[in-house]
Chains A and B, each alone.
Chain A
């Protein structure tokens, strides 16, 4: 048997999703964004929703998410993605409307829009990347930065007495009646990727079925910002991030 016998359709076990564009990604090697983008592309493709999908990109590392997925996108002002998504879904109730936001975008500057949209129970999905740091601007402290964690604006480590505690915004959101799904996932192992994908699909189904607001938090690595290798970052996330941001469903109705 030579290689040509092996490369055949029936032997295909993995392929790049059709909705991922053929462009180089700007994300750092080891960053979680690429995996999450791929999962979103797979889910939209599997649900057959390319012509109904409208993604809302944030300001932050994912500001150019629109370059990577072959769907219609809107690029929001910093923190305002849930406001855009609110209007899009209200005006186009048959569409799949999702936002893709980082921790600074969703839990600092956009806290108001996030909580109010979720409290109204807008029928949107929110994909929330929590890596505890501002990646795009060069590693500053985020609302989700851990206690004692060093960043470029907390060089001695986050001091909770002056900067407050890590904001567990998903716990807050899970309390709101408008929220139907609040789940915390990760993408650092194959099993975790599978679970995260299931939850992204559920969130998108909730949007299409008008069940309310779904938030899928992905506890993520930022190895560049954390100044670690990708594998060190994965280990550090498990040891330090997961105790503060434990994985699992906070709400799933």
Chain B
């Protein structure tokens, strides 16, 4: 990692991290609150330095299908959007998962439904982790809560995507995308040569050579016996991801009587609410899921034996709370507090909710 400490927006950090990671292609369509990603890339003009392709597509549908084409060649390719645009991409994401193609997707969420608002939200949780497109597939989902993690998760996302041949998503929101913080960017890495990609990705469509059969990237299989086997293979892969890749952060949980569960910007708000609660003598901690899929059910289940209750704080109508309840499995109280439509809750109201719904309920 670079020693230089910079001040920038989360969206800008993603763009710079992508160039430095050696990403081969970015394909995107402008939408608030994430347009800084493509603007930063266009300004940096990496095609002159690393050779990275940056293309403004005609739509999110074209963007995600460009990602499909590039990923089929074994390239490091990515796109970014915000909620309405991500909805348009869902068909393509299903195809990417069905064709087992690695790529990085970024959703800087805004409030919905519909055109909604340009203000921050976390209302695409279900869409992302429960499958917004058709068919039984899963998206590896990373939830950064700082500008530093926006930069770091570019590399982590690509590593996991290529390890499992599956799309990976950075699920963030307008707060993390737009806020400025200190960040140390990763060091520059050279882009892989075609020869290196052919070795690392023997499945990539880079032209059939005499030493192998043609590579065919498709999600089509008309024979249901074979398609079921394909699905079993996908599910086995997903179980491996669930076994190996769960990531979370425990904050002040050791002595906690009450635990917040929150991801992304909501976790930053809860961090402050913990301080306020502890000033009043309440022992409060937090579990912050970093991977939303695979979800950290086990750690929640372990604390469910020890604490008096969980409060899930989300900027939506209560989506992740369903997974927290699965983790707790009825052992103790689980409640939700959140705001919707682009409203970011304050730490004071979160603490009030903790008292009303858990501590004094």
Contacts and interface: CB of A to CB of B under 8 A. Distances in A.
A70 B212 CA distance: 11
B215 interface: yes
Contacts of A54: 73, 205-207
User: How many of chain A's residues touch chain B, expressed as a range?
Assistant: 20 to 34
Given A75-B219, A112-B58, A87 B208 contact: no
A74 interface: yes
A52 B206 CA distance: 7
Interface in A96-118: 112-113, 116
Which interface residue of B194, B206, B214, B215 has the most chain A CB atoms within 10 A? B214
Contacts of A20: none
Contacts of A140: none
Contacts of B194: 92
A77 B218 contact: no
Contact of A83 (B69, B215, B216, B220): B69
Interface in A56-102: 56-57, 63-64, 66, 69-77, 80, 83-88, 90-92, 95
Contacts of B210: 51
Contacts of A52: 207
A112 B72 CA distance: 22
Given A77-B91, A90-B53, A72 B216 contact: yes
Contact of B205 (A74, A80, A112): A74
Nearest to A67: B216
Contacts of A77: 65, 68, 91-92, 95
Nearest to B92: A77
Nearest to A54: B205
A83 B62 contact: yes
Contacts of A56: 69
B24 interface: yes
A50 interface: yes
Contacts, number: 127
A210 interface: no
A100 to B, nearest CB: 14
Interface in B60-90: 61-63, 65-70, 72-73, 75, 77
B139 to A, nearest CB: 17
A66 to B, nearest CB: 5
Given A74-B72, A74-B218, A91-B75, A86 B207 contact: no
Interface string A8-31: 000000000000000000000000
A179 to B, nearest CB: 16
Contact of B25 (A66, A74, A87): A87
Contacts of B207: 50-54, 71-72, 95
Contacts of B58: 112-113, 116
A112 B62 contact: yes
Contacts of B358: none
A46 B91 CA distance: 38
Contacts of A53: 207-208
B317 interface: no
Contact of B208 (A63, A64, A71): A71
Interface string B6-27: 0000000000000000001101
Nearest first, the 3 A-B pairs at minimum CB distance are A84-B69, A75-B218, A87-B69
Given A75-B219, A91-B75, 13 more contacts: A54-B73, A71-B207, A73-B214, A73-B216, A74-B72, A75-B217, A80-B62, A86-B62, A88-B70, A90-B55, A91-B24, A91-B69, A113-B62
16 contacts: A51-B208, A64-B220, A72-B208, A72-B214, A73-B218, A76-B65, A76-B68, A77-B95, A83-B69, A87-B69, A88-B72, A95-B207, A112-B58, A112-B61, A113-B65, A116-B57
